[in-house]
Amino acid sequence: MSDLATALIETVDTPDGPLVIFADAQQRVLAAGWTTDASAVIARIHPVLRPGTVREARLDAADAARAYYGGALDALDDVLVRQQGTELQLKGWSALRRIAPGEPLTYTEFAATFGSPTAVRAAASICARNAPALFVPCHRVLRSDGSLGGFAWGLPVKASLLAHERRAA
């Protein structure tokens, strides 16, 4: 059962479609995704953190997302997130936040950044289980051949984010 009674939600219009953002009462992002189906985003939140109710609110993270799309790629850096996972997942999610915009890594390179260079499958799993997409930029991890790999919100969104970061970096 969740330790959160209520989550906050705001939707931002972006060039990649509506970005739904959920945060806790302290404005820490729990999950984010490009969809019109808020339930698809909330389903990505770890059950321990999943709220019982949701209410609309103005979120600092939404302002940061608008700034990011406006070209201020560093606007996401100070946004707080809240994730629940294993020690390895937490290390991986922290490492994702250190990948510079416009400088994507391969899954192998990413695995090395969190101290597990042979854990390529774990690296892919860490990306796949990342709920606060954009704010924990799993889109910056690619296959070893440079192809996109996967992305929960679709490869067109991942490609667009990477192109935006290349242009603005």
Q: Which of 4, 42, 138, 152 is catalytic?
A: 138
- Map the chain to HEC letters: CCCCCEEEEEEEEECCEEEEEEECCCCCEEEEEECCCHHHHHCCCCCCCCCCEEEECCCHHHHHHHHHHCCCHHHHCCCCECCCCCHHHHHHHHHHCCCCCCCCEEHHHHHHHCCCCCCHHHHHHHHHCCCECCCCCHHHEECCCCCCCCCCCCHHHHHHHHHHHHHHC
138 is catalytic: yes
Cα angle 29-31-32, degrees, rounded to a multiple of 5: 100
Residue pointed to by tokens 């954009």: 134
Residues β-bridged to residue 105: 141
The answer to whether 29 touches 40, Cβ cutoff 8 Å, is no
Question: Known catalytic residues?
Answer: 138
